[in-house]
Amino acid sequence: MRVLDVSQRAASWALASALLFAAAVLPAQTLEAQTFSVIHNFTGGADGGSPFAGLTMDKAGNLYGTTTFGGSGNGTVFRLVFKNSHWVFQPLYSFAGGTDGANPQARVIVGPDGALYGTTQYGGAGYGTVFRLSPQPTACKTALCPWKETVLYRFAGGADGENPFSEVVFDQAGNLYGTTVLGGTGTCNTTNTCGVIFELTPSHGSWTESILYRFTGGNDGGAPTAGLIFDDGGNLYGTASVGGLNNRGTVFQLMPEGSGWSENVLYSFMGVDGDQPASSLISDPAGNLYGTTIYGGSTYGSSPGGGVAFELMPSSGTWTQTTLYSFGANNGDGIAPYDRLVMDANGNLYGTTSAGGPGDIGNIFKLTAVSGGWAAAVLHNFTDGSDGAHPFSGLIFDAKGNLYGTTASGGTGGFGVVFEITP
């Protein structure tokens, strides 16, 4: 079995040089009339540094995100508010690195109560936390008023899970679900356990963890770095970065069954069709699933490959995989897409690559269905780092069709940026 040193990767994805291999140099198609703007440059200080995760938008159009480092040294949660024709940056919380958590790797989400919910990969009892952030109960008398953190759960680092990389998701009853990349009882190699899927249930002001599934690292997959999504039937879907029939990762379904849950592997990657999925999935109205893999694709034969965007289509109880696009095969289109795709109303897909392009520091792309397949177009190439570098996160839309995202490094301070693309 291929060794996956997820503990080392968790320490800093910004330093994932092994994943940022050389790209081809000829340009791909570039779309015109796209306006790219940096709306915040991180300094690595009180505002944070290295935002690996993407953004979340509330109903008022405010942006929320996390940085893995900076603040007090252990990462931050921040907000961007649009006022008087420009974006105003507001630090909301700085992790102390103790029992409150450290180094968030995932984005926060807005809960049914309007509070923010997220995970840290370290801190707590040493193995990560699930937390809630809410405004202070009394009126703030200063311009920068930190929010109040409540730790919902501290992972013990054993059978209950260890190092959550993923965001959490709510069900309709108000329970939280997520994954940890380590922990559980399976063994992915001589040093690493294989991760779990967990549920947190609220009761009388506290939260109780239940383990829905523990990965073995075999055909069922292992080391899930991404979050989960629900379908209308209450089933959960996600990706595992290793394991499967070919040890190239899986797409899985978790179904409620009696008093427990059962796992169903929908697809095992083979390499030429993708390798090491790290992204969360999205679904379209027909129930098709979409995601990315870091490696693999048509350039897989003599190298790790540049990664793929894929679709899984259900039909009569089985799922058919289609590789929509292989990155790195068409020169300058970017390589190593880490995070989720986003779909517009016309069915076009958008995302980021963490490397490749003219500067070998990533780009922002659009995939459009054409006769016989899908075509890639570059919305923005990160070239010299001044506008950002290495976007590991996915994108989000606002109501006007503008796109927002982050880069883990680059910008004027070198610690990453938040950017906007207007059509």
> How do residues 182-224 score in pLDDT, each as one tens digit?
999 877 766 688 999 999 999 988 999 999 999 999 999 999 9
Q: What does the alpha-carbon distance between residue 68 and residue 18 come to, in Å, rounded to a whole number?
A: 20
pLDDT at 13: 36
pTM summary value: 0.92
Least confident of 49-63, 136-150, 156-170, 236-250: 136-150
Q: What does the alpha-carbon distance between residue 225 and residue 167 come to, in Å, rounded to a whole number?
A: 10
- Cα-Cα-Cα-Cα torsion 256, 257, 262, 266, nearest 10 degrees, comes to -70
pLDDT at 311: 98
Half-sphere exposure of 191 (CA within 13 A, CB side): 7
Q: What does the alpha-carbon distance between residue 312 and residue 132 come to, in Å, rounded to a whole number?
A: 33
Phi, psi at 103, each rounded to 5°: 60, 70
3-state percent breakdown (helix, strand, coil) of the chain, nearest 5: 5, 45, 55
Q: Collapsing DSSP states into helix, strand and coil, what is residue 245?
A: coil
Taking residues 398-423, report their average pLDDT: 97
Taking residues 112-137, report their average pLDDT: 96
Asked if the model's pLDDT at residue 97 lies above 70, the reply is yes
Name the residue type at position 134. S
Taking residues 253-282, report their average pLDDT: 95
Asked if the model's pLDDT at residue 27 lies above 60, the reply is no
Name the residue type at position 84. N
pLDDT band of 138, cuts 50, 70, 90: confident
Taking residues 40-66, report their average pLDDT: 97
Phi, psi at 11, each rounded to 5°: -65, -35
pLDDT at 15: 32
Cα diameter, the chain: 61
Token readout for 152 is: 């919902």
pLDDT at 143: 58
Q: What does the alpha-carbon distance between residue 93 and residue 144 come to, in Å, rounded to a whole number?
A: 10
Percent of the chain at pLDDT above 90? Answer: 81
Query: In angstroms, what CA-CA distances link 317 with 88, 161, 237, 251, 313?
Result: 49, 31, 15, 15, 10
pLDDT band of 274, cuts 50, 70, 90: very high
Asked if the model's pLDDT at residue 405 lies above 90, the reply is yes
Asked if the model's pLDDT at residue 354 lies above 50, the reply is yes
Helix (H) or strand (E) holding 124: none
Q: Collapsing DSSP states into helix, strand and coil, what is residue 19?
A: helix
Token readout for 112 is: 């049914």
pLDDT at 3: 31
